[in-house]
């Protein structure tokens, strides 16, 4: 007699988890819960679209470029519109910063709330058509003043974030979330359309065995980075590390959290400020990795302490296992002196 697959009557969904966390928060009105639940809805639809893209002609380009000068894919446009619409209709945000929009997105007064959301609706979209993993990344800030929305409100340092998360559209769709009390992972069960808690209080290993960097740029790195990567391959310096690089930040960071090691996108001679964007790539990932016990630096100071000067500011980033990040930081400091 085949065993009936167990169907729990008490599954911990993302919705239930976030509501339970709200109840632990003093004087919470429910706005953050409503905001996170709206993001969850956007992610569910993006996940469906990503998996149907090949069938519904959603592969390919939208025949335009974004503020970054990057070619925009059809799925980029859909994901961006979904995030904007779900966030606006949550009545909890006053302003948004999106990778796809040059200017801030203001929410009209009748729908406005106290949160500011910085997001990359679909990160790694150059990987869409070849079915490599892609993701969505978001960071949530509280509006600190009564002033009207303006770009300066989108320039809070990462250490002011209330919550951050990412969705990974990989072999399964997962959401990884922190609200400042550790990191939790939820997997989408397509059969019921719910995100299910599969890992609580995720912890990144103290040290890993994998380094992740685009080695095509080796000749454009600073000497410290060249030396660090060379050391990772040199048996005389210890057991050599493995190299992994998807070229999709969410996939590379998620692997780094799960297995340990280090993800790096340093400055290069072509990108003297780095490539990755501080507000909606580096900061959310730095908050999550730090909450999981890891480190995230720009090579000089913790990413979360950087005070942004523009909403699309780029930053170098070294994030991952504490000992791995400390090792590359020590080499950078040595070369600087
Ligand atoms: P609220 O008034 O519901 O937006 O909540 C006020 C503050 O309480 C938030 O900015 C968080 O710091 C905390 N909080 C509220 N809801 C949650 C939640 N679901 N998870 C974690 N923290 C929460
Ligand atoms: P490169 C994707 O375009 C992205 O913004 C990140 O997801 C990824 O980590 C990085 O750029 C890859 O950049 O220069 O290695 O192709």
pTM: 0.95
pLDDT value for 114 = 96
Whether residue 176 is found in the same domain as residue 30: yes
Tell me which of 164, 179, 186, 197 to substitute to probe ligand 1's pocket, judged by most ligand atoms within 8 Å of the beta carbon. 179
Residues with CB under 6 A from ligand 2: 123-124, 126, 214, 247-249, 252, 275-276
Q: Is residue 205 included in any domain, yes or no?
A: no
Whether residue 93 is found in the same domain as residue 35: yes
Last residue of some domain: 147, 168, 199? 199
Q: Is residue 87 included in any domain, yes or no?
A: yes
15 close to ligand 1 (CB < 6 Angstrom): no
32 close to ligand 1 (CB < 6 Angstrom): yes
Which alpha helices (H) appear in the chain, and where do they start and end?
14-24, 31-52, 74-88, 223-233, 249-259, 283-291, 322-336
Q: Is residue 204 included in any domain, yes or no?
A: no
Last residue of some domain: 158, 180, 199? 199
**Domains contained in the chain, number:** 2
Residue by residue, pLDDT tens for the chain (337 residues) are 666 667 788 899 999 999 999 999 999 999 999 999 999 999 999 999 999 877 777 777 777 777 777 777 789 999 999 999 999 999 999 999 999 999 999 999 999 999 999 999 999 988 888 999 999 999 999 998 888 888 899 999 999 999 999 999 999 999 999 999 999 999 999 999 999 999 999 999 999 999 999 999 999 999 999 999 999 999 999 999 999 999 999 999 999 999 999 999 999 999 999 999 999 999 999 999 999 999 999 999 999 999 999 999 999 999 999 999 999 999 999 999 8
CATH number of the CATH domain containing 268: 3.40.190.80
Whether residue 300 is found in the same domain as residue 151: no
The phi and psi torsions of 333 (rounded to 5 degrees) equal -65, -40
Whether residue 84 is found in the same domain as residue 219: no
pLDDT value for 68 = 76
Ligand 1 centroid from CA 195, angstroms: 20
Q: Is residue 6 included in any domain, yes or no?
A: no
What is the rounded CA–CA span in Å between residue 278 and residue 296? 12
**Ligand with minimal distance to 271 CA:** 2
Whether residue 25 is found in the same domain as residue 115: yes
Whether residue 170 is found in the same domain as residue 272: no
pLDDT value for 56 = 72
pLDDT value for 119 = 98
Last residue of some domain: 158, 175, 199? 199
pLDDT value for 187 = 98
Phi-psi region of 220 (alpha: psi -120 to 50; beta: other; left: phi over 0): alpha
Q: Which domain holds residue 330?
A: 210-336
Give yes or no for a contact between 115 and 149, defined as CB atoms under 8 angstroms apart: no
What is the rounded CA–CA span in Å between residue 300 and residue 317? 10
List all residues 6 or more positions away from 175 whose beta carbon is below 8 Å from its beta carbon.
Answer: 14, 40, 43, 165, 166, 167, 185, 186, 188, 195
**Ligand with minimal distance to 21 CA:** 1
Q: Is residue 36 included in any domain, yes or no?
A: yes
Q: Which helix (H) or strand (E) holds 64?
A: strand 61-65
Whether residue 157 is found in the same domain as residue 282: no
Q: Is residue 4 included in any domain, yes or no?
A: no
CATH number of the CATH domain containing 128: 3.30.540.10
34 CA closest ligand 1 atom index: 3
Ligand 2 centroid from CA 220, angstroms: 16
């Amino acid at each position: 007699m085949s065993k009936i697959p167990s169907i729990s009557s008490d599954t911990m969904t993302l919705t239930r988890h976030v509501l339970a966390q709200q109840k632990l928060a003093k004087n919470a009105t429910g706005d953050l819960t409503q905001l996170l639940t709206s993001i969850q809805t956007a992610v569910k639809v993006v996940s469906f679209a990503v998996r149907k893209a090949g069938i519904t002609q959603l592969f390919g380009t939208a025949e335009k470029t974004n503020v970054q000068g990057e070619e925009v894919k059809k799925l980029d446009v859909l994901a961006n519109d979904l995030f904007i619409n779900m966030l606006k209709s949550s009545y909890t945000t006053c302003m948004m910063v999106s990778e796809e929009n040059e200017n801030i997105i203001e929410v009209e007064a009748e729908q406005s709330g106290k949160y500011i959301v910085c997001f990359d609706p679909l990160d790694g979209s150059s990987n869409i058509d070849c079915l490599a993993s892609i993701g969505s990344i978001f960071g949530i800030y509280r509006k600190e003043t009564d002033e009207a929305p303006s770009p300066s409100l989108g320039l809070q340092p990462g250490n002011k974030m209330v919550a951050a998360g990412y969705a990974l559209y990989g072999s399964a769709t997962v959401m990884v979330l922190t609200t400042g009390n550790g990191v939790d992972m939820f997997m989408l069960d397509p059969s019921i359309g719910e995100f299910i808690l599969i890992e609580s209080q995720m912890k990144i290993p103290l040290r890993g065995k994998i380094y992740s960097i685009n080695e095509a740029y080796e000749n454009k790195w600073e000497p410290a980075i060249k030396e660090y990567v060379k050391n990772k391959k040199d048996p005389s310096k210890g057991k050599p590390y493995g190299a992994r690089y998807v070229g999709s930040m969410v996939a590379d960071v998620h692997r780094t959290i799960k297995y340990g090691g280090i993800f790096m996108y340093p400055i290069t001679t072509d990108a003297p400020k780095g490539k990755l964007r501080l507000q909606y790539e580096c900061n959310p990932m730095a908050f999550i990795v730090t909450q999981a016990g890891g480190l995230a630096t720009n090579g000089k100071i913790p990413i979360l302490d950087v005070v942004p000067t523009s909403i699309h500011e780029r930053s170098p980033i070294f994030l991952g296992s504490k000992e791995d990040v400390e090792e590359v930081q020590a080499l950078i400091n040595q070369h600087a002196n």
